[in-house]
Structure 1
Amino acid sequence: MKLDATDRRILKELQRDAGRPASEIAEIVNLSTNACWRRIKLLQEEGIIRKQVALVDAEKVDMGLTVFVEIRTSQHDEAWLERFSKGVSQIDEVVEFHRLNGNVDYLLKIIVSSIADYDRVYKKIIRTVPLHDVTSYFSMERIKETTEIPLDKR
């Protein structure tokens, strides 16, 4: 599906607040409510809109510590990767899990309530498979955080 400017404006508005009715978004993007609703449904069917969620304030639910974890391994075989991916993906506190190129093999973003809570998660991670090096970085301040994908064509 090729996105046009109207689709991009709809997506931009949905990323800001997906809870608004289609009629409100339609007015902003200058479409009829039915036309806007049909476009939103098509964006969902095509998988461009994967799902709609509520964004929870981590601080207000006592999960205010963000930890970034770099992982290096000396093993790069498929069986190891499968065990590692499966094990880490099952840890709820891991909210992002990336395989990288360069000096670091994997990067995790973990949300926990405290350093002791992180230690519990760390122990789960190191039980999954043998690891060469694990380095943790505790976020001191969240300067910018967004879930919005930039959609403006450059």
Structure 2
Amino acid sequence: MARIHARRRGTSGSVRPLRTEAPEWSNKDKAEIEKIIVELRKNGMSSAQIGLVLRDKHCVPSVKLATGKRIEQILADNSLASEIPEDLRNLIAKALGMRKHLEENNKDLHNKRQLHLTEAKVRRLGKYYSNTGKMPADWTYKPETAEFLLSK
């Protein structure tokens, strides 16, 4: 499959081994894992950071295998899920950083092109989330209100 904004093929990557249950050496206590996830979220960590902490410090290679739920599902059950999905939030933050750079360096054409491509990804992803019901149906990306969206 090809890249979105480049005329080249994608690179192959490693695939996680197929497992149907958590390994013997891992932490399998569902209640403890969910408690750790809730605590880490209350400390301000994103779901990706929570997954890394669980893997590195608490011997949980896969939250889904250990608990039967994804991290986002556990956060939603405890009403701690964010309004904007994490991948969309990261793209908006990236576009916001590019806009700040372009205010100081308005002749940076490479950055201007990359900003257009990043905002196209934001719109495409926002449309997907609004069509699947994870975000409001009337949600649209506006660069002027992007900083306000990230402050929530």
- TM-score, with structure 2 as normaliser: 0.30
Higher relative CO (Cα under 8 Å, sequence separation at least 6) belongs to 1
Larger radius of gyration: 1
Q: Which has the higher strand share?
A: 1
Could you say which structure has the higher helix fraction? 2
**TM-score where L is the length of structure 1:** 0.30
